[in-house]
Structure 1
Amino acid sequence: MNIKQIAIFLIVLLIQIEKGNAQENIPYLKMVGEKTHLIVKGEPFIVLGGELGNSSFTSIEYMKPHWEKFQAMNLNTILAPVYWELIEPKEGQFDFELLDKLIIETRKNDMKLIILWFGSWKNSMSSHVPSWVKQNPTKYPRAKDERGVSQEILSPFGKNNLQADLNAFKALMKHIKSIDKEQTVIMVQPENEIGMLPSARDYHPLANEKFKKQVPTELMGYLQKNKEYLVPEFLKVWRKNGYKTQGTWEEIFGQGYGTDEIFMAWYFAKYVQEITKAGKEIYPLPMFVNAALIRRGKIPGEYPSAGPLPHLMDVWKAGAPSIDMLSPDFYTPDFELWNDLYVRQNNPLFVPEHRFGNTVGAKALFAIGHYEAIGFSPFSIENNVNSELAGAYNLIEQLHPLIAKNFGQNKIEGILLDRDKVLSTVVLGDYEFSFKNSYTLGWEAGATKDVWDSGGAIIIQTNTNEFYVAGSGVVVTFKNWKKRDKIVGILKNEEGVFENGNWKVIRHLNGDQTHQGRHIRISHGDYSIQRIELYEYE
């Protein structure tokens, strides 16, 4: 190399280092063991969130009285929509005034912000696209049902649809990058609850043309490469037709609504991939997509077909590799079952939307403890006040240093109990812990109710025989599963709080509070933390 070449090399190297440092300073995801942390400003961050109603942040005045409520519920993050129709009211003319005010108000209230992009789709529909898109279906084609009737849904097969959404999203990410130097915005959701209704797939001529063609080699290559790791529901469909590697959608996956859904999932995923990839090239924040879950007994089209659902996660991962996680929105039962399906293939769990109710506190504890989730967020947070959520979020915030220290090391667990599930057993180290809903003791008034309040807890192992239990509505007994001939007793039981990361004892518990050394318990409504030390005797 001559001197000029060396100088150019050093300049390029410095630019790359500066670019790398800049990216390291923005929020990102980090694997620890088999779990994934969200890192904000260099530190692990748990989203104790609340999602705003769809139309709430269209006025600063409407939001003013709600910030105090958010703080009372111990939120650290707001999930808020950004509406395509409002930021680009005229094609190519962008207005970010409302977004700027949202970021300023969020920062002023010492919270973080997750942006929900209401672009081409929101709850399957294209309700938030600009009027200049809605009024020009020739240029911006809509999906059609089996009868050829146009739907209030942009077709993912329309190139102009993608390009217009892409332009708006790129402008959004450029703007966030330029004004949010303090990292108030920590994640982004491109689109919202994508899916086809009331048909399983789009029947626009552009879609029909694609449906008759060969399945793209990109998808088939992914399936062949990852065959032994595919989720069993999807593998079963492929196996049923002989693991074919070439052919049309119906030749490879068979005829029926299921194939219609797989077909749509691929093209929805490819559409979102283009948007996400372009956004990340500008400002690579973590990005996720969410799904409206399947209601029991429903078929594709009766639920939003082709969204990022568990049985389609292989199609979505193949089609949208820039997406960091697939996330469930809960308006259905079976919280644990659905989450178990979502954490396969090392997909990090983040619950961005859950119906508000009395179960949210226990479920937040369970999600953060059992799945070591990115975070949890009930919906319509501005219209609700919930002491259960406030209590749970307060405990998680106190435990945050312990969670971060022990993250991904099989030292953290979570428990969720109700009347249908009164017992949950977990193993940490040498000990087996049996958690029961505290109503099973018969001492609390709520035990006589037809529907029991949920019990929830996090347990963290901090030493061989030292554990912290935090939650509400649980009673805990213990055994040493390795030394089965030993009896396990309570050496010490303290109730306390963490102040600036330091444990402060409020009460030393014994006697009636531990049932004379036979269990520890935290009653319903009493969100608290207990430290226990165990010992064995014969």
Structure 2
Amino acid sequence: MIRTLIALVAFISMAITGAAAADRPIPRIEGRQLIVDGAPWLLLGGELANSSASSRAYMAPRWERLAGLHLNTVLVPVSWELIEPEEGRFDFALVDGLLEDARAQHLRVVLLWFGSWKNSMSSYVPDWVKRDTARFPRARLTDGRAIEMLSPFAPANADADARAFAALMAHLAISDTARTVLMIQVENEIGMIPEPRDRSPLARAAWAKPVPAGLPGAGKSWAEAYGNGADEAFMANAYARYTERVAAAGKRAYPLPMYVNAALPRPNAAPGSGYPAAGPLPKLAAIWRKGAPSIDFIAPDIYFPNFVEWTHAYAALGAPWFIPEANRAGAAEAPANALYAIGALGAFGYSPFSIDDLAPGGDAGLADCYAMLAGLAPLILERQGGDRLAGVRAPVAFDGTTDLADQVLTMGATHLTARLIDPWVPRAQQHPETHGAIVIQLAADDFVIAGRGVTFTFAPVAGKGATGILAIDEGRYDNGRWHPGRRLNGDQSHQGRHLRLPPNRFSVQRVRLYRYD
């Protein structure tokens, strides 16, 4: 009965919103971009702390502050327990209120579905699920103990989650004609802990079956096919298939883009005991793609210093992507990370965590960085996925060691060498992990370079002659339109020797080059 009602609501909702959809198309993924209102969208985001969105009153004074940080999108949790307090009875008043408050500040929203799992645990499932362990079985450890984690091998668990998620999506299809909601994160940091494999009776029965068709090693046992990684591969397949049941039910009601996020491992960490095993990590991407085709992409939650390493691993998967959690919002390196992910690796968005907990003035320059990126957005989006957009920042290893070697960008006929230490400020007073820049090629010898703490010199790719600076103008972009300020052909450019982005503030500079022998 509930399934039939959800399907009927979804059908009616699509009919009701058909006219509105013609004016405001449903957000979608196209290539490596997020398309909003029919055009590419650069997602400048921030994720709320986990409990903030459970109270509209708590959030009320915070929306204006979020808009003041120059965000255009807020990542907002929606927990299963609050929308379905009794089985089959749904209450979306809180969701509607939060979306109304976001719209009042001209903010868009990505909803985070805290359904069966949040950081591996089943802490946000409704009371009636938690109490009925016979109908909704838990994962178990090797010694037989149950843990507070729904087993992904139980059809009843997936069915209940899918029904609730479909009801939420059907409601959004009716109520969110403004298209405030851009995407949905399905579950949160799925993974098995403190052991790498569920040992419940249903899981043991699944383990005894061969690897299913379509996966490497199909027909073999999991141990034969995957060796030491068998436990994690087995669980990744189970989690992906469970997530697919939830996501597919939601997409049938309202086909917004959907993704899953991963908690990342430290170096040499053991699956399960060292990190949540079997989440959507790059090494498991093929299993996740096969098991959950309704998921548009997988995304990392990066809380470790080796940001560059992890972003390269996800960008290499070739799918659209963004970073839903990039450490805490006040982290000093957050602006440099945003510039690098968007400029160097084609991320369509960036979002640090706990954005609503920022103290006044504690954003470490993120607001200024977002304001700068918002002005540059039309130029960035036009060049995403091509060789006319680049970015630099110093790679930092997991142990905090920073690689300050010069980086060379090749754009057209020009080598751009980026020095990540400022030449005019004593080294001891600098924090190179906060330095970063985005480079946009406008024409053959015309570049926009924006950021802080990076100095650029220019040379011809052919190696013959020299590349000189005709002019450097400081200024700003407003919705892609250039507003020039000072001409920087004197001390600021060392009399035409380089382009310098000061380390203490964000700067947007436009440089025009020429060739001479």
**TM-score in terms of structure 1 length:** 0.88
Q: CA deviation at 1:360?
A: 0.4
59-68 or 123-132, larger mean C-alpha shift: 59-68
Distance 2:369 2:405 in 1: 20
Change (3 A) 1:20 1:60: closer
334-343 or 410-419, larger mean C-alpha shift: 410-419
Q: Secondary structure of 1:201's partner?
A: coil
Change (3 A) 1:291 1:19: farther
Distance 2:416 2:142 in 1: 55
Q: CA deviation at 1:405?
A: 2.3
Q: CA deviation at 1:335?
A: 0.9
Q: Secondary structure of 2:231's partner?
A: helix
Q: Secondary structure of 2:323's partner?
A: strand
**Aligned equivalent of 2:428:** 448
Structure 2 residue 330 is matched with structure 1 residue 349:
no
The one-letter code of the counterpart of 2:501 is: I
2:507 alignment partner, one of 498, 520, 528: 528
Please list the CA deviations of residues 127-170 of structure 1 after superposition, one character each: whole Å capped at 9, or x if unmatched: 00001000111110000011111111000011110111011000
**Aligned equivalent of 2:455:** 475
Equivalence map 1:389-538=2 (5 Å): 389-417=366-394, 419-439=402-422, 441=423, 443-444=424-425, 447-449=427-429, 452-482=432-462, 484-538=463-517
Gaps spanning 5+ residues in structure 1: where?
1-14, 224-243
Q: CA deviation at 1:453?
A: 4.3
**Aligned equivalent of 2:222:** 249
Q: How many positions carry a matched residue from both structures?
A: 489
Change (3 A) 1:276 1:451: same
Structure 2 residue 258 is matched with structure 1 residue 287:
yes
Distance 1:158 1:23 in 2: 42
C-alpha contact 1:73 1:387 (8 A) present in aligned 2: no
Q: CA deviation at 1:518?
A: 0.7
Percent of pairs with identical residues: 44
Q: Secondary structure of 1:426's partner?
A: strand
Structure 2 residue 48 is matched with structure 1 residue 65:
no
C-alpha contact 2:244 2:294 (8 A) present in aligned 1: yes
Change (3 A) 1:27 1:156: same
Distance 1:479 1:41 in 2: 41
**Aligned equivalent of 1:77:** 73
**Aligned equivalent of 2:29:** 29
**Aligned equivalent of 1:122:** 118
Q: Secondary structure of 2:503's partner?
A: coil
C-alpha contact 1:339 1:349 (8 A) present in aligned 2: no
C-alpha contact 1:23 1:284 (8 A) present in aligned 2: no
Q: CA deviation at 1:57?
A: 1.2
416-425 or 267-276, larger mean C-alpha shift: 416-425
The one-letter code of the counterpart of 1:326 is: I
Q: CA deviation at 1:245?
A: 4.2
Please list the CA deviations of residues 481-501 of structure 1 after superposition, one character each: whole Å capped at 9, or x if unmatched: 12x121111011100112343
C-alpha contact 1:417 1:455 (8 A) present in aligned 2: yes
Q: CA deviation at 1:409?
A: 2.5
Please list the CA deviations of residues 161-189 of structure 1 after superposition, one character each: whole Å capped at 9, or x if unmatched: 01110110000000111100000000001
Please list the CA deviations of residues 285-306 of structure 1 after superposition, one character each: whole Å capped at 9, or x if unmatched: 1100000001122111020000
Change (3 A) 1:107 1:21: closer
**Aligned equivalent of 2:188:** 192
Please list the CA deviations of residues 442-498 of structure 1 after superposition, one character each: whole Å capped at 9, or x if unmatched: x225x214854421111011101000001111100111112x121111011100112
Q: Secondary structure of 1:299's partner?
A: coil
Distance 1:501 1:197 in 2: 47
C-alpha contact 2:315 2:346 (8 A) present in aligned 1: no
**Aligned equivalent of 2:353:** 379
Q: CA deviation at 1:408?
A: 2.4
Distance 1:422 1:392 in 2: 24
Distance 2:498 2:212 in 1: 59
Change (3 A) 1:290 1:247: same
Q: Secondary structure of 1:346's partner?
A: coil
**Aligned equivalent of 2:208:** 212
Gaps spanning 5+ residues in structure 2: where?
1-14, 396-401
Please list the CA deviations of residues 348-396 of structure 1 after superposition, one character each: whole Å capped at 9, or x if unmatched: 2210001120100111011110112120000000111314211211111
**Aligned equivalent of 2:156:** 160
Please list the CA deviations of residues 218-247 of structure 1 after superposition, one character each: whole Å capped at 9, or x if unmatched: x33xx4xxxxxxxxxxxxxxxxxxxx5422
The one-letter code of the counterpart of 2:460 is: N
The one-letter code of the counterpart of 1:143 is: A
C-alpha contact 2:24 2:179 (8 A) present in aligned 1: no
Q: Secondary structure of 2:365's partner?
A: helix
The one-letter code of the counterpart of 1:103 is: L
Q: CA deviation at 1:21?
A: 6.6
